Amino acid sequence: MHMTKLSLLSFAVACATFSHAVNAAEDFSNLFTQGKVNLDARYRFENVDQENALRDAHAQTLRTRIGLQSGKWYGLSALIEADNVSRIGDAAYNSTRNGQGHYAVVADPDGSEINQALLRYDHQYGSAVLGRQRINLDNQRFVGGVAWRQNEQTYDGALAQLKPVDGLTLSYAYIDQINTIFGPDNGRYDNRTNPANIDGHSHLINAQYIFAPELTATAYSYLLDLDNLAIAPTAPEGTLSSQTNGLRLNGNLSGLSYVLEYARQSDYDSNPQELSSDYLLLELGYTIKGIQLKAGHEVLGGDSGPGNRAFQTPLATKHAFQGWADVFLTTPADGIEDLYFGVTAPLLGGTLQAWYHDFSTEQGSDDYGSELDLSYAHPIPGVKGLVGLVKYASYNSEDEARTVDTDKFWLQLQYSY
């Protein structure tokens, strides 16, 4: 890791030195005089009601984030960003770190940490980023920042993006630590499924070419070495290490949009299990007068072998997929098929969303259940940068041996400056 960091840093410095020799007009003080401070504060009330032995969760949390973004000097810039998550009121929820295991989970532990700390070099043909950073690839189905949770997921490593010709973006990232939503610290109540930091040597390769508005093609290979992460609390460490190779096609034509995606997943590095499963996504959308209609079929394959060897996406922003109730954060051993449709529409100066999901097993033809999701977001009048959100998810189980009825409600205020 250290050699990779030093190599990219040396490359950035060399490029900056060359630029300085060509054009000596830029002043080093631009790094400071053109810098800016970023502030973000997010209050959230979250209620979780499940039909099981756990008590209903009632969580009030405040996430405060402050960052300092430098200006640019011959393409070089820097960012440092810190955040704090604090509980407000009683700890009537299981944060995964507070020992309240008799409550339903709201995965927002208290704590403060450095969210991002990075050096960046920008050039007309690409960029390089070194340090702790946010990485969101494509629609975040495989690699994302999980920004919905109060403690964002960030990555320690190096990311290089090359844009040699118009429309083509080649991305490569080397990751040696993942700072998860369950951080900043481990403790007596964590387990192998929710470490604060995931160790390993992972490689993310992504190549995207925009042929036209009607067609964008993206090929990817994600080699995840997740040494201290497991598929279940009692499973061996490393059972979520995998190699995923896929192709995504998407585009828009006269209000009609589509996505076609296929991926294959196998075991990688020291995973003690043999993995072999498929991913498939078919999605159609249509936009008319600002109203977006969308329907899709997403399949994460299962496996009949021992243990859970289904298709997994451990680094994804999972809350954006398979329903907001987060019932399927881990793909069941029999896999999952998600038939969904929804609408996003402007309403009274805000945005309304409504989604319906029908879930079934990929192996066999059993029903898991269905889910209804509703949300409404609206800027708060008179306060620039302040947005309110009301959100609700209701999952109805058809197979109580595998899933339980789950209702979740959120009330949120977020201020960004």
pLDDT tens digits, one per residue of 303-333: 988 889 999 999 999 999 999 999 999 999 9
Closest CA to 294 of 360, 358, 339: 339
pLDDT for 172 beyond 70: yes
pLDDT for 2 beyond 50: no
How crowded is residue 194: how many other Cβ atoms within 10 Å of its Cβ? 20
pLDDT for 7 beyond 90: no
The residue extents of the domains of the chain are 2-416
Q: What is the pLDDT of residues 196-230, one digit of tens each?
A: 999 999 999 999 999 999 999 999 999 999 999 99
Burial 370-399 (b: 16+ CB within 10 A, else e): bbbbebbbeeeeeeeeebebebbbbbebee
Tokens representing 11 are 């490359």
What is the overall mean pLDDT for the chain?
94
Tokens representing 313 are 């996406």
13: helix, strand or coil = helix
pLDDT for 3 beyond 70: no
What pLDDT is recorded for position 317? Answer: 98
CA 388 – CA 383 distance, rounded (Å): 11
What pLDDT is recorded for position 121? Answer: 98
Q: 299: part of which helix (H) or strand (E)?
A: strand 291-300
Beta strand ranges found along 331-401 (DSSP E): 336-347, 350-360, 367-379, 386-397
pLDDT band at residue 1 under the 50/70/90 scheme? very low
Determine contact, residues 91/76, Cβ cutoff 8 Å: no
The answer for residues whose C-beta is within 8 angstroms of residue 396's C-beta and 6 or more apart is 369, 370, 371, 405
What pLDDT is recorded for position 304? Answer: 81
Q: What is the pLDDT of residues 378-394, one digit of tens each?
A: 999 999 999 999 999 99
CA 165 – CA 175 distance, rounded (Å): 26
What pLDDT is recorded for position 274? Answer: 95
* Residue 346, CA atoms < 13 Å, CB-side half-sphere: 7
Does the global pTM surpass 0.75? yes
Q: What is the pLDDT of residues 329-388, one digit of tens each?
A: 999 999 999 999 999 999 999 999 999 999 999 999 899 999 999 999 999 999 999 999
* Residue 290, CA atoms < 13 Å, CB-side half-sphere: 8
CA 109 – CA 84 distance, rounded (Å): 10
Q: Spelled out in words, what is the top-level CATH class assigned to the domain 2-416?
A: mainly beta
CA 195 – CA 198 distance, rounded (Å): 6
What pLDDT is recorded for position 280? Answer: 98
What pLDDT is recorded for position 361? Answer: 97
How crowded is residue 170: how many other Cβ atoms within 10 Å of its Cβ? 15
Decide which of 30 and 9 is more confident: 30
Q: What is the pLDDT of residues 256-277, one digit of tens each?
A: 999 999 999 999 998 999 999 9
Determine contact, residues 275/223, Cβ cutoff 8 Å: no
